[in-house]
A and B are shown apart, each in its own frame.
Chain A
Amino acid sequence: MRAVGSSIPRVDARHKVTGEALYPGDIDRPGQLWLRVVFAERPHARIRGIDTSAAMAAPGVVAVFTAADVPNNVYGLNTLDQPVLCGPGAPRGMADADIVRFVGDQVALVVAETETQANSAARLLQIDFEDLPVVSDPLAAMQPGSPLVHGYRDNNVLLEYHVRTGDVEAGFARADVVVEHTYRTGAQEHAYLQPEAGLSYIDALGRIVVVVAGQWVHEDRQQIAHALGLPEDQVVVRYPAIGGAFGGREDMSVQIVLALAAWRLKQRGIDRPVKTIWSRRESIIGHHKRHPSVVSAKWGATRDGKLVAQQVDFTSDCGAYAYTSTKVLGNATLACLGPYVCDNVHVDARTVYTNNVPGGAYRGFGGPQGHFAAELQMDRLAEALGMDPLELRLRNAWHEGSLMATRSVLPAGVTIVPVLERLAAEISGSENGGQSPRPSPQSPVPSPHAPFLTSLDASAGRRLRGTGIACCFKNVGFSLGYRDVCNATVELYGTGEIERVVVRHAAAEVGQGTHTVMAQVAAEVVGVPPEQVELIVQDTAETENSGSVSASRMTFMAGNAIKGAAEQALARWQDEERPAIAHFEYVPRATTPYDKLTGQSDPNITHGYCAQAVEVEVDPDTGHVHVLQVISVNDVGRAINPQQVEGQIEGAVAQSVGWTTHENFVQRDGRVLTDQLSTYLIPTVVDVANVKSVILEIPDPQGPLGARGMAEMPFIPTAPAIVAAVHDATGVWFDEIPLTPERVWRGLRAAAR
């Protein structure tokens, strides 16, 4: 059996089914203290002072830390714009670190003997707040006179991008049909099952060790060292098992504050570990969300279905701090055009500070918001032209050698056409043994979960059915001029035969299966069974920088790095070196940033492509939308582990069905109203659709053994395909998600009048 292409069990599966896998909250060290983070709990305010005396005097309290204890009170993944702790008195950092900008800003750290004591003492902290005017809508935040979220700036627009290609007015003049609509998408909470937690201590070498769940050990280390004003080699970041991420652990949560507390305690002669576990509510207010977006799009096409003009205005709600908003914006600026050739393009895109919970990385990273508008524009054009939506897409889809709106040739391996063609075949049933994947409308076909849909049952009457399609591209790897790198080391041990293969790699296993994929790639190249591969992973003390598990990059990047290291180690083995050890730094082809005025660039290393068909059932009396079936066609280049690939498709679709139909993250005046899993509802086992995963393996020319990244793209087409299916069922277009029953019911009522 070959290692690559086999659905071997995950390397971590046994520990995960026995309860032996240790997540950050499961790890204790002798003598540990408990840390409680005190959050601002108000969206915009100045902290005039903090009186810690009552908290310090409370039973069991060992220390209370505030901004004055932070050596360099500023941090940020891409933009240094956030205090570690809000308040006055830090020696260095942000000049206005005394300003609180969202409810989840961290203000103080209470360290006590027990969790209960830390929690009780936290309530005794006296924080003197002066409330400031709140701006919670990105469009309002762009108006003159809006309160400024960051006072040193002229306005709240963090960043703008522009794309100018051809002459969009000339394009509209040529167009036989023009469609113009404004689309809105909501925030989404990651709702990974494991709330933020971690442990920090000083090791025998005097280094600060932080045991935590994240997505990039080396970046966490850099941000901790920066805030503490220490060299990076004084900090070790180590990930144990990680309970989900989806982008939600890309930015700091407990990392810096845990390190700060352990380090400051040690300076006071208290050499004790510090542990924290956030509650679900703290997790929900304390980390970023998928950006809400408002997208106005005006597109034109000729009668024969040729796209001749795309004009898009894109705004995302950055929230209080940048996080990855600028990078998400970079992706959205092109995603809002879809995978289509068009000679006349005009995009204005921006991300805008508000006093909401920050927007940031979440599976798809701007792709879902952009494609929501792009794909529904294609449906609107198809409707206006009287053309089949899939046919319209095929007529405009990118081909090998096509130019993007950035006037660069697409990365080789453009496969949106075969992906769409396969979807068409799946829909017509020719790839399905002649059987239509769609149940016939006459048959009763209760969904397997129907007994639990009580509100649907309540109306026992009509159910309307419809189908819709959508497609997408997704960049693989870091984009727009970021120098992406990935390190790996492969060590071969044995005498005559290779008995043991050790792979050192920093990649975080957040559930996506990357460690299993790494073992499979190493085994394939070295020519041993995967069981012989040992992994030393996700630890800055043991591995070199491998970059983040984000941007669908790790299979592609780690695969190339491990393949390179394994090939070199094998050559040394053949030269009789024992052990044979090789390190390899993989650097993919360079990309370039947007030109400020025209957007001209070579933005992405490579792409993945996906297309989906969706069938829904709508109850017109209650407004409930139930997604029955999703066919997802995905070109993954090469499926290293087909079962894990299918698992990513099924999981992505479930998350996207949630985002589209019922995950309703509500913020009012900067306050989070849905701060529990009882008010922010994610899909349960009875809410998910049947998913048919179709994996295409058209090798990516740059991919390791042909593989390209794939775990984001199946999220992207689901939302517009659902909206198209709801339109097919009801005759009504919905331009805003989530499709809550109330929104659908109101929309249907309004259309009926």
Chain B
Amino acid sequence: MRHDISFTVNGEPYNIAVESHHNLLQVLREQLVLTGTKNGCSEGECGACTVLLNGEPVNACLVLGVEADGHEIVTVEGLATDGHLAPIQQTMIDAGGTQCGFCTPGVLIAAHALLQRNPNPSETDIREGLVGNLCRCTGYTRIVDAVFEAARLQRVSNQ
């Protein structure tokens, strides 16, 4: 069965029909061809599919497409504005926080959400904020460094 839903993704409004049993990850990747959001496990373990649902990070594989009806979604493709990288994207590059990069979109979204609710996070806050995102390459050190630096840049630019 299909359902008509209306939602925004990265600020763009969409009116589409989605299958009852399709999760938000399938809708984003297959229907909207926003492949930046990754599928690492389909069961909410790895965090590669993390997106923002009304500003809150969720595993898109654990949210049904129909549940997005009327809501705002932000994916990794929505972090940069007019080709300008968001601070967390730039600091992730500078800190060397991406290697294979498959976890990176989910990590960026989780970090972005953390910085939205906590502009001055401690290391513990950062690790708590990223605990749902698996990375097999980096050992996480540089990811944590990147979030610290993005928080600093964000505070400086808000002064």
Interchain Cβ contacts within 8 Å, total number: 174
Q: Which B112-146 residues have a C-beta within 8 angstroms of A?
A: 123-124, 127-128, 130-144
Instruction: Determine whether A23 belongs to the interface, using a CB cutoff of 8 Å to chain B.
Output: yes
CB-based contact A451/B128 at 8 Å: yes
Known: A194-B38, A243-B101. Is A685-B48 also a contact (CB below 8 A)? no
Residue of B nearest to A650 (CB): B139
Report whether B43 and A17 are in contact in the complex, using a CB–CB cutoff of 8 Å: no
Residues 9 to 68 of chain A near chain B (Cβ within 8 Å): 9-10, 12-23, 25-26, 28
The contact of B100 among A9, A243, A688, by CB within 8 Å, is A243
Chain A residues 501 to 559 lying within 8 A of chain B, measured CB to CB, are: 510-513
A246→B138 CA distance, assembly (Å): 12
**Given known A-B contacts A18-B36, A677-B41, A677-B43, A194 and B100 have beta carbons under 8 A apart:** yes
Cβ–Cβ < 8 Å partners of A20 in chain B: 36
List residues of chain A with CB within 8 A of the CB of B13.
Answer: none
Residue of B with least CB distance to A7: B96
Query: Which of the candidate stretches B65-73, B87-95, B151-159 sits at the interface with the other chain?
Result: B87-95
Known interface pairs A193-B48, A280-B42, A676-B43. Does A651 touch B94 (Cβ–Cβ under 8 Å)? Answer: no
- Within B61-110, the residues touching A (CB, 8 Å) are 75-77, 79-80, 85, 89-90, 92-94, 96, 98-105, 108
Structural contact, B139 and A678, CB atoms closer than 8 A: no
Which of A15, A245, A277, A651 contacts B139, CB < 8 Å?
Answer: A651
Give the nearest-CB partner of A192 in chain B: B136
Q: Which residue of A lies closest to B94 (CB)?
A: A9
Pairwise interchain contact B136-A193, C-beta atoms closer than 8 A: yes
Q: Which chain B residue shows the least CB distance to A450?
A: B124
Given A22-B35, A677-B43, A677-B45: A12 touches B101 (CB 8 Å cut-off): yes
The answer for the CA separation of A280 and B46 in the assembled complex, in Å, is 10
CB <8 Å contact, A686 and B38: no
Residues of A within 8 A of B94 (CB): 9
Partner of B39, one of A17, A25, A678: A25
Encoded as 1 (CB less than 8 Å from any B CB) or 0, chain A from 432 to 460 comes to 00000000000000001101100000000
User: How far does the alpha carbon of A644 sit from the alpha carbon of B144 in the complex, in Å?
Assistant: 16
B40 CB–A CB distance under 8 Å: yes
Contact of B138 with A452 in the complex, beta carbons under 8 Å? no
Residue of B nearest to A511 (CB): B100
Question: What residues on A are CB-neighbors of B37 within 8 Å?
Answer: 19
Question: A residues within 8 A CB of B128?
Answer: 451-452, 686
* Cβ contact within 8 Å between B36 and A512: no
- The verdict on A193 contacting B93 (CB below 8 Å), with A243-B101, A688-B141 known, is no
Q: A13-B93, A17-B104, A452-B127 are in contact. Are A650 and B35 (CB under 8 A)?
A: no
Within 8 A of B (CB), among A406-455: 448-449, 451-452
Cβ proximity bits A652-693 to B, threshold 8 Å, 1 near / 0 not = 111100000000000000000000111000111110101100
Chain B interface, number of residues (Cβ within 8 angstroms): 55
* Closest-CB distance, A191 to chain B (whole angstroms): 5
Interface of A is mostly: loop
Contacts of B45 in A (CB 8 A): 280, 676-678
Which residues does chain A contribute within 8 Å of B42, judged by CB atoms?
A: 279-280
For A195, what are the chain B residues with a Cβ–Cβ distance below 8 Å?
39-40
Whether, in the assembled complex, A591 has its beta carbon less than 8 Å from a beta carbon of chain B, the answer is no
Please pick, from B40, B96, B134, B137, the residue contacting A643 in the complex, using a CB distance under 8 A: B96
Q: B144 and A651: CB pair below 8 A?
A: no
Complex CA distance for A596 and B37, rounded to whole angstroms: 52
* Listed residue (B90, B98, B139) with the most chain A CB atoms within 10 angstroms of its CB: B139
**Hey, which chain B residues are within 8 Å of A651, CB to CB?**
99, 136-139
Q: In the bound complex, what is the Cα–Cα distance between A14 and B79 (angstroms)?
A: 13
A241 lies within 8 A of chain B by Cβ: yes
Question: How many chain A residues touch B (Cβ–Cβ < 8 Å)?
Answer: 62
Residues of B within 8 A of A678 (CB): 43, 45
Please determine whether A448 and B123 come into contact, CB atoms closer than 8 angstroms.
Answer: yes
Chain B residues whose CB sits within 8 angstroms of the CB of A654 once the complex forms: 138-140
Which residue of B76, B102, B137 has the most chain A CB atoms within 10 A of its CB atom?
A: B137
A647 at the binding interface (Cβ < 8 Å): yes
Q: Would you call A653 and B92 a contact (CB within 8 A)?
A: no
Closest Cβ–Cβ distance, residue B22 to chain A (whole Å): 10
Asked whether any CB of chain B lies closer than 8 Å to the CB of A244, the reply is yes
Q: Note all chain B residues with C-beta closer than 8 A to A511.
A: 99-101, 137
Of chain A, the residue at the smallest CB distance from B48 is A193
- Residues of the A chain whose Cβ atoms lie less than 8 Å from the Cβ of B46: 193, 280, 677
- Interface membership of A392, Cβ < 8 A: no
A23–B123 alpha-carbon span in the complex (Å)? 31
A17 to B101, CA, bound (A): 8
A580 interface residue (CB < 8 Å to B): no
Pair A193/B38 contact, Cβ less than 8 Å? yes
- Among A12, A643, A652, A677, chain B packs the most CB atoms within 10 A around the CB of A677
- Tell me, rounded to whole Å, the shortest Cβ–Cβ distance linking A228 to chain B: 29
Q: Complex Cα distance A242/B102, Å?
A: 8
Residues of A within 8 A of B135 (CB): 193, 685
Q: Mark A451-476, 1 if CB is under 8 A from B, else 0.
A: 11000000000000000000000000
Give min CB distance, B73 to chain A, whole Å.
Answer: 13
Quick check: B93 and A9 within 8 Å, CB to CB? yes
Report if A452-B134 is in contact (Cβ < 8 Å); known contacts: A17-B92, A193-B46, A193-B103.
no
Is the C-beta of A646 less than 8 angstroms from some C-beta in chain B? yes
CB distance from B56 to the nearest CB of A (A): 19
A684 to B107, CA, bound (A): 12
Q: Hey, which bits of chain B sit against chain A, CB under 8 A?
A: 29, 33-43, 45-46, 48, 75-77, 79-80, 85, 89-90, 92-94, 96, 98-105, 108, 123-124, 127-128, 130-144
Lowest 6 CB-CB distances: which A-B pairs, in order?
A19-B36, A511-B100, A16-B101, A243-B102, A654-B139, A650-B139
Apart from A19-B34, A20-B36, what are 11 other A-B pairs with CB-CB below 8 Å?
A: A13-B101, A25-B39, A192-B102, A193-B48, A280-B41, A452-B127, A650-B138, A678-B43, A684-B131, A685-B127, A690-B141
13 A–B contacts, CB within 8 A, in A order: A13-B93, A13-B101, A16-B98, A17-B76, A17-B98, A23-B38, A241-B101, A243-B102, A280-B40, A451-B128, A510-B100, A647-B139, A650-B141
